[in-house]
Amino acid sequence: MTLVSVKENRATQLKEPVSTAESTEMMAYCPGCKAFQTVWLNGDRLMNTRKFTQVGDSIYHNCGSAQPCRLYAL
Ligand SMILES: [Zn+2]
């Protein structure tokens, strides 16, 4: 009995990680000044966005509104 072993060299093709992290574009609506603006979230973290500050899970506009912005998916 002869066993023939065939070795397959399979190149594992892994996708290289994209340099830009997974980010989501959302519309932020400020109930204080009624402004709409696009913001970018990385997971649930606000990415560096001027005019907006993240406090816990809420995002506040820097117009001084005491109410957090509402986020809408695009
Ligand atoms: Zn505002």
Residue 10 Cα to ligand 1 middle (Å): 55
Residue 51 Cα to ligand 1 middle (Å): 9
Is 2 within a domain?
no
Is 52 within a domain?
yes
The predicted structure's pLDDT at residue 30? 98
| Sheet-wide strand order for 45-46 | 45-46, 36-42, 24-29, 70-73
Encoded tokens for 66: 């005491």
Is 30 within a domain?
yes
| Domain range for 38 | 24-73
- Nearest CA to 54 out of 26, 33, 20 is that of 26
pTM above 0.75, yes or no: no
Is 58 within a domain?
yes
Encoded tokens for 35: 């402004």
Give the C-alpha separation, 63 to 37, whole Å.
Answer: 13
- Give the tens place of pLDDT for each residue, 11-58: 666 665 555 567 899 999 999 999 999 999 998 899 988 899 999 989
- Those residues whose beta carbon sits under 5 angstroms from the ion ligand 1 are 30, 32-33, 35, 61, 63, 65
Task: Specify the number of domains making up the chain.
Answer: 1
